[in-house]
């Protein structure tokens, strides 16, 4: 049995890695838990360590210097016996206990075999990130249509391009690295449809001036897109995917400023794969049942409310990264450091690298957060989207509920949030428990307000066998 930890960090992406490294530097014993087979999360997704030579993906990454530095510090923590790294561990529940938290997970190192694991510590830091937010459109359920993140995960984790002629659509800067990565693996990216207009960024000069690094990154993408002859189409959207048993073409339309497709602008483009993403939905499954206060973010998501030290409203519970509002890897790293700094301060440990360094991280995080707010404002969901969705369009992929049924639940039964729609139509009741359709159903029926996910007591499927042998 490993020695008890002072802190459990759930999520080994940029926020969780940075938090674990800072806590280790401050002398704490840390357990770092992630469902993946390597640290890095989605942003720094890599094949497992032993397969790095077989699947080269280094060229698809950004910020690898920071990633390597964090990896080295984690390795040193393991070697010193102070880091308990749990990869391929799926956390399905976290409960408060006297004096701390119990994290219930299943070890899936030998998947599909599962072994139950319970980790306990007085303090818990949740850095579970986010996943692609989807707005349904006709044909989005056809094989070959993936989330933009799904395309990227196949590329970064498996070295696989899901198609040879790919169209991307949605909104947000994330479409750009996906386009470049696909092109780097030989796919032809025939369209990148961005619903917003980049000109909207000019209304936010402050955050742009405070984040010169983002300018450099944008210039890098612009150069790479030009090199691969990829055309970014502003204020356009993929409004339909065509095909029988798989996607064969998309229809692309120009959008008015409120997001309505302009009549007569539609173009048909033949493709064999599509990637779509409308920003991200924070992964709050572990935080909501713990009773964390939430707050609204500019992108329409409810996010975890934290103080300026990343403390949630629950004593001993900290959050960092996209769960506190979608803002990218740089901000996640800063927030991870701040959160761990608070853990050190609150547990009476030596404050690590001192107050001056901490205020520098705070200042950087503030600048990055301001940029994230601007990004979330520029790349909002199109206001007109619910209106242009035909009734026959599938909204809930799992239970196969269409937009007409969701609208009827609102019109006939007065449903005005996704929980009520779930009871009336089964949308959100299937395998994914509304993770995919939740934000869309919210857009279709809610009278304003941010999307807050339903409370899910079990965050990931767990077998009865694994529950029966748990050592708690």
Partner 1 sequence: MNEIIIDGEPLPFVEGQTVAAALVAAGRIAWRTTRVGRRPRGVFCGIGVCFDCLVTVDGSDGQRACLVPARPGMAVTTGEGDDA
- Please report, as ranges, the residues that interact with partner 1 according to CB under 8 A: 35, 37, 42, 47-48, 50-52, 54-55, 108, 111-113, 131-132, 141, 143-147, 149-154, 157-160, 162, 245-246, 273, 397-400, 430-432, 435-436, 460-461, 463
Nearest distance, CB of residue 448 and partner 1, angstroms: 26
Q: Which is nearer to partner 1, 242 or 366 (CB)?
A: 242
| R_g over Cα of the chain | 22
Is 250 in a helix, a strand, or coil?
Answer: strand
Measured at the alpha carbon of residue 12, what is the angle toward residues 6 and 18, in degrees to the nearest 5? 70
Nearest distance, CB of residue 388 and partner 1, angstroms: 22
Q: Which is nearer to partner 1, 147 or 211 (CB)?
A: 147
Q: Cα dihedral angle (454, 457, 461, 462), rounded to 10 degrees? A: 180
Q: Which is nearer to partner 1, 308 or 455 (CB)?
A: 455
What is the separation of C-alpha 36 from the centre of its chain, rounded to a whole number of angstroms?
Answer: 14
CB count in 10 Å sphere of residue 354: 9
How many angstroms separate the CA atoms of 375 and 174, rounded?
11
| H/E element, 171 | strand 165-171
Nearest distance, CB of residue 18 and partner 1, angstroms: 21
Q: Give the residues across from 93 on adjacent strands.
A: 104
Nearest distance, CB of residue 160 and partner 1, angstroms: 5
Measured at the alpha carbon of residue 451, what is the angle toward residues 441 and 372, in degrees to the nearest 5? 125
Q: Which is nearer to partner 1, 34 or 217 (CB)?
A: 34
**Phi, psi values for residue 385, rounded to 5°:** -55, -45
| H/E element, 219 | helix 212-227
Yes or no: say if 272 and 142 are a contact pair by the CB < 8 Å rule: no
Question: Which pairing describes strands 317-319 and 123-126: parallel, antiparallel, or unpaired?
Answer: parallel
- The number of residues making up the chain comes to 472
Q: Which is nearer to partner 1, 160 or 411 (CB)?
A: 160
Q: Which is nearer to partner 1, 276 or 302 (CB)?
A: 276
DSSP codes of every residue in 13-40: SHHHHHHHHHHHHTT--EEEE-SSSSSS
Q: Which is nearer to partner 1, 122 or 158 (CB)?
A: 158
Alpha helices in 278-435 (DSSP H): 329-346, 355-378, 385-388, 403-413, 418-425
How many angstroms separate the CA atoms of 294 and 450, rounded?
10
Query: For tokens 């007065």, what's the residue?
Result: 414
Yes or no: say if 195 and 170 are a contact pair by the CB < 8 Å rule: yes
What is the separation of C-alpha 188 from the centre of its chain, rounded to a whole number of angstroms?
Answer: 26
Sheet containing 100-107, strands listed edge to edge, beginning at the edge strand earlier in sequence: 89-97, 100-107, 115-121
């Amino acid at each position: 049995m490993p020695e008890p930890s002072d802190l459990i960090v759930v999520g080994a992406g940029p926020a969780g890695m940075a938090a674990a490294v800072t806590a280790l530097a401050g002398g704490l014993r840390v357990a770092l838990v992630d469902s993946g087979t390597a640290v890095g999360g989605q942003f720094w997704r890599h094949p497992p360590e032993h397969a790095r030579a077989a699947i080269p993906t280094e060229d698809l990454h950004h910020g690898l210097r920071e990633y390597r530095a964090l990896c080295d510090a984690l390795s040193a923590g393991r070697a010193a016996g102070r880091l308990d790294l749990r990869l391929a561990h799926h956390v399905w529940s976290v409960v408060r206990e006297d004096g701390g938290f119990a994290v219930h997970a299943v070890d899936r190192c030998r998947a599909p075999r599962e072994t139950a694991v319970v980790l306990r510590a007085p303090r818990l830091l949740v850095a579970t990130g986010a996943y692609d937010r989807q707005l349904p459109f006709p044909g989005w359920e056809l094989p070959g249509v993936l989330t933009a993140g799904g395309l990227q995960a196949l590329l970064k984790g498996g070295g696989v391009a899901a198609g040879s002629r790919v169209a991307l659509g949605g909104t947000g800067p994330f479409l750009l690295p996906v386009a470049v990565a696909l092109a780097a693996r030989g796919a032809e990216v025939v369209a990148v449809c961005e619903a917003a207009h980049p000109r909207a960024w000019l209304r936010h000069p402050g955050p742009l001036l405070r984040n010169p690094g983002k300018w450099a990154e944008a210039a890098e993408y612009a150069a790479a897109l030009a090199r691969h002859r990829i055309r970014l189409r502003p204020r356009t959207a993929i409004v339909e995917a065509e095909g029988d048993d798989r996607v064969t073409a998309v229809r692309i339309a120009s959008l008015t400023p409120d997001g309505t497709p302009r009549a007569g602008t539609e173009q048909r483009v033949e493709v064999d794969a599509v990637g779509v993403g409308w920003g991200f939905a924070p992964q709050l499954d572990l935080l909501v049942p713990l009773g964390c206060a939430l707050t609204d973010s500019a992108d329409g998501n409810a996010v975890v409310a934290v103080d300026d030290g990343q403390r949630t409203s629950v004593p001993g519970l900290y959050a960092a990264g996209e769960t506190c509002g979608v803002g990218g890897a740089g901000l996640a790293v800063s927030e991870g450091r701040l959160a761990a700094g608070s853990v050190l301060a609150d547990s009476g440990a030596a404050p690590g690298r001192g107050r001056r360094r901490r205020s520098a991280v705070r200042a950087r995080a503030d600048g990055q957060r301001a940029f994230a707010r601007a990004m979330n404002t520029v790349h909002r969901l199109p206001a007109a989207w619910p209106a242009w969705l035909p009734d026959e369009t599938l909204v809930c992929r799992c239970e196969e509920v269409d937009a007409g049924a969701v609208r009827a639940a609102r019109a006939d039964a007065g449903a005005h949030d996704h929980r009520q729609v779930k009871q009336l139509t089964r949308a959100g009741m299937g395998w994914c428990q509304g993770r995919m359709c939740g934000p869309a159903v919210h857009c279709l029926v809610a009278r304003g307000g941010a999307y807050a996910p339903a409370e899910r007591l079990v965050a990931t499927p767990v077998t009865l066998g694994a529950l029966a042998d748990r050592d708690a």
